Amino acid sequence: MVSFVRNQNYSTLTTFSNHIEFAQNLDKKDPLANYKKQFHHPKDQAGNDLIYLCGNSLGLQPKTTAHYINQELNDWANLGVEGHLEARNPWLAYHEYLTNGMASIVGAKPIEVVVMNTLTTNLHLMMVSFYKPTSTRYKIIIEADAFPSDKYAVESQLRHHGIDDKEGLILWKPKEDDLNHLEDLEQLLNDHKDEIALIMVGGVNYYTGQAFDLKKIAELGHQHGANVGFDCAHGAGNIPLNLHDSGADFAIWCTYKYLNAGPGSLAGCFVHERHAYDKTLNRFTGWWSHNKTTRFNMRDEFDVLPGAEGWQLSNPPILSMAAIKASVDIFKEVGMDALRTKSKQLTGYFEFLLKDLNHPGIRIITPTNPNERGCQLSIQVKNADKKLHQKLTDKGVISDWREPDVIRCAPVPLYNSFTEVYEMVQRLSDVLNEQE
Ligand SMILES: *Cc1c(COP(=O)(O)O)cnc(C)c1O
């Protein structure tokens, strides 16, 4: 069957067809198709590649990563402490090798970006500087469906300041369509006039896959006197974020999801340029936030580094950064524009195939407008339980199950193919038919 997908917000008219040959042909024409081979793909017991749609949870390992890490292991073995200055990539400056690449992935200026710590740690450090409650302005807005770690972190910041976390936490609730709407955020800001100190929402919601208009949210927040931060764990490497232009005060993201830097790898942090030289901003500090030229004098008065680097605490784990460098180098080569172009097509095809199943029990929660989502589709399967997800896994599809009834699938443009998306929908269809 051939069908036309026309979306009023989507300027291109795309013709898709529900045939394996059509999917294979899209792969043949895909300029990024060769990158698939540059990643390790988990296999089933028979040695066949699984269909891995969990890059929103843990990205696959680039084949170059081992080489990057081995370089540092060897330099450590051969040089010991001298590696700080003598390693091929001297460790002292290692985080700087990531800055330009990471800045272009998230649409920021280099001075605005640093790789350090892990995501939730960075969120706390950012709230130390950008959540400054007063007796009247002390509330924080988050999405009702925020990632649990973000909610716990925000609640603990409220308590840390002696504020009741139920009273201080304001939830931006989705409408019946399960999506968050800007007019509701605006309503909250008006309802809590002069009380909101901070808005902290996801760049892309982890559950629905909805991508927010960061610039509009930052403008709204600032107009109402609040600081604005974004958790871009599901945005970085997935959609162009344009963090600098958004005007957000800060953003944080991890590198193990779409940035393929390995389990628990270090996180990114963005602080807008307008704060780069503000030494009056309260912050937690350590020797790595101190002026690089005098850092090792050890006895100087604290002299904070400008920009996001001025929020670093410790000398960072080089082995984790080596894995990030391997990944950032791939992103540099491909570029976010090419990735995004394929991503829209790949996810568009996925959406087409799911709709073409015409199954009454299936509903896609994620927005249909490609500009309001990344690669992930969140598929609600009515009356399903975890057994359905297990059956899909048994058929070689690695996806993510969220209670009560949602399967999250992220076809990643770097290493997933149109054929895999086609196969996935076939197998989902088989599982649904077996159920009936
Ligand atoms: C993945 C994710 C986290 C995880 O936090 P860590 O500190 O890396 O464990 C937090 N928030 C969001 C929105 C996420 O998607």
pLDDT tens-digit series, residues 277-311: 999 999 999 999 998 888 788 777 888 899 999 99
Q: Ligand 1 centre and the CA of 290: distance in Å? A: 27
Ligand 1, residue 149: give the atom nearest the CA. 10
Q: Ligand 1 centre and the CA of 124: distance in Å? A: 12
Q: Whose CA is nearest to atom 1 of ligand 1?
A: 233
**Pair 212, 203: CB distance under 8 Å:** yes
Quote the tokens at residue 272: 């807008």
Q: Which H or E element spans position 310? A: none
What is the dihedral sign for C-alpha 19, 24, 26, 27?
Answer: positive
Measured distance CA(347)–CA(343) in Å, rounded: 6
Indicate if ligand 1 lies below 6 Å from the C-beta of 393: no
Indicate if ligand 1 lies below 6 Å from the C-beta of 400: no
**Pair 72, 322: CB distance under 8 Å:** yes
Q: What is the predicted pLDDT for the residue at 313?
A: 96
Closest CA to 369 of 218, 209, 232, 145: 209
What is the distance, to the nearest Å, from the Cα of residue 38 to the centroid of all Cα atoms in its chain?
21
Q: Whose CA is nearest to atom 14 of ligand 1?
A: 233
Q: What is the predicted pLDDT for the residue at 13?
A: 46
Q: What is the predicted pLDDT for the residue at 177?
A: 93
Measured distance CA(44)–CA(427) in Å, rounded: 15
Ligand 1, residue 233: give the atom nearest the CA. 15
Indicate if ligand 1 lies below 6 Å from the C-beta of 206: yes
Please compute, for residue 14, the number of CA atoms within 13 A of its CA located in the half-sphere on the CB side: 22
Return the higher-pLDDT residue of 434 and 396: 396
Environment class of 112 (CB within 10 Å of its CB; exposed 0-12, middle 13-18, buried 19+): buried
Give, to the nearest 10 degrees, the angle between helix 336-356 and helix 20-29.
180
Q: What is the predicted pLDDT for the residue at 10?
A: 45
Ligand 1, residue 119: give the atom nearest the CA. 7
Q: Ligand 1 centre and the CA of 227: distance in Å? A: 21
CA dihedral 255, 256, 259, 265 (to 10 degrees): 50
Q: Whose CA is nearest to atom 2 of ligand 1?
A: 233
Say if residue 263 is preceded by a cis peptide, omega within 30 of 0: no
331-366 pLDDT, tens digit per residue, is 999 999 999 999 999 999 999 999 999 999 999 999
DSSP 305: P
Q: Whose CA is nearest to atom 8 of ligand 1?
A: 119
110-129 pLDDT, tens digit per residue, is 999 999 999 999 999 999 99
Quote the tokens at residue 356: 């073409």
Q: Ligand 1 centre and the CA of 319: distance in Å? A: 21
Pairing of strands 362-364, 169-172: unpaired
3-state class of 144 per DSSP? Answer: coil
Ligand 1, residue 120: give the atom nearest the CA. 7
User: What structural domains and CATH numbers belong to the chain?
Assistant: 2-60+341-435 (3.90.1150.10), 95-315 (3.40.640.10)
Indicate if ligand 1 lies below 6 Å from the C-beta of 125: no
Q: Ligand 1 centre and the CA of 262: distance in Å? A: 14
DSSP-assigned letters across all residues of 62-131? BTTHHHHHHHHHHHHHHHGGGHHHHSSS-GGGTTHHHHHHHHHHHT--GGGEEEES-HHHHHHHHHHHH-
Quote the tokens at residue 36: 């698939």
379: which strand partners? 364, 407
Q: What is the predicted pLDDT for the residue at 141?
A: 98
Measured distance CA(340)–CA(242) in Å, rounded: 13
Measured distance CA(155)–CA(192) in Å, rounded: 18
Rounded to an integer, the average pLDDT of 376-401 is 94
Closest CA to 145 of 117, 116, 107, 184: 184
CA-derived radius of gyration, the chain: 23
Indicate if ligand 1 lies below 6 Å from the C-beta of 233: yes
Confidence of residue 4 (pLDDT cuts 50, 70, 90): very low
pLDDT higher than threshold 50 for residue 65:
yes
Indicate if ligand 1 lies below 6 Å from the C-beta of 202: yes
pTM of the model: 0.95
3-state class of 406 per DSSP? Answer: strand
Confidence of residue 268 (pLDDT cuts 50, 70, 90): very high
Say if residue 404 is preceded by a cis peptide, omega within 30 of 0: yes
Which of 58, 150, 239, 253, when mutated, tests ligand 1's pocket best, judged by the most ligand atoms within 8 Å of its CB? 150
Indicate if ligand 1 lies below 6 Å from the C-beta of 305: no
Q: Ligand 1 centre and the CA of 24: distance in Å? A: 35
3-state class of 185 per DSSP? Answer: helix
Indicate if ligand 1 lies below 6 Å from the C-beta of 231: yes
Rounded to an integer, the average pLDDT of 96-108 is 98
Q: What is the predicted pLDDT for the residue at 7?
A: 43
Q: Ligand 1 centre and the CA of 254: distance in Å? A: 7
Which of 56, 118, 120, when mutated, tests ligand 1's pocket best, judged by the most ligand atoms within 8 Å of its CB? 120
- Render the burial of 31-49: b for 16+ CB within 10 Å, e for the rest: ebeebbeebebeeeeeeee
**Pair 55, 30: CB distance under 8 Å:** no
Q: Ligand 1 centre and the CA of 119: distance in Å? A: 6
